[in-house]
Amino acid sequence: MARIEVRRNILEANENLALRNRNFFDANEVLVVNVMAAPGAGKTSTILRTIEYLGDRYAFAVIEGDMASRIDADVMAAKGIPVEQINTGNMCHLDANMIGRAAGTFTYGRPTILFIENVGNLVCPSEFSLGEDLNIVIASTTEGHDKPYKYPAIYLKADAVLINKTDLMEAMEFDRKMFCDGVAAVKPMPPLFEISCRDGSGLDAWVGWLTGQCERKFGREARKLAER
Ligand SMILES: Nc1nc2c(ncn2[C@@H]2O[C@H](COP(=O)(O)OP(=O)(O)OP(=O)(O)O)[C@@H](O)[C@H]2O)c(=O)[nH]1
Ligand SMILES: [Mg+2]
Residue 226 has pLDDT above 90, yes or no: no
Mutate which of 33, 36, 45 to test ligand 1's pocket (most atoms within 8 Å of Cβ)?
45
Whether ligand 1 lies within 6 angstroms of the CB of 85 is answered as no
CA torsion 178→208→155→81, rounded to 10°? 130
**pLDDT (0 to 100) of residue 220:** 76
Distance 185 CA to ligand 1 centre (A): 27
pTM: 0.95
Whether ligand 1 lies within 6 angstroms of the CB of 49 is answered as no
**pLDDT (0 to 100) of residue 110:** 95
For 116-146, what is each residue's pLDDT tens digit?
999 999 999 999 999 999 999 999 999 999 9
Q: Which domains does the chain have, with CATH numbers?
A: 2-221 (3.40.50.300)
Would you say 127 and 152 are in contact if contact means Cβ atoms under 8 Å apart?
no
Which ligand ends up closest to the CA of 46? Answer: 1
Residues 201-213 have a mean pLDDT of: 98
**pLDDT (0 to 100) of residue 225:** 62
For 35-94, what is each residue's pLDDT tens digit?
999 999 999 999 999 999 999 999 999 999 999 999 999 999 999 999 999 999 999 999
Mutate which of 33, 34, 44, 163 to test ligand 1's pocket (most atoms within 8 Å of Cβ)?
44
**Whole-angstrom distance, CA of residue 73 vs CA of residue 85:** 6
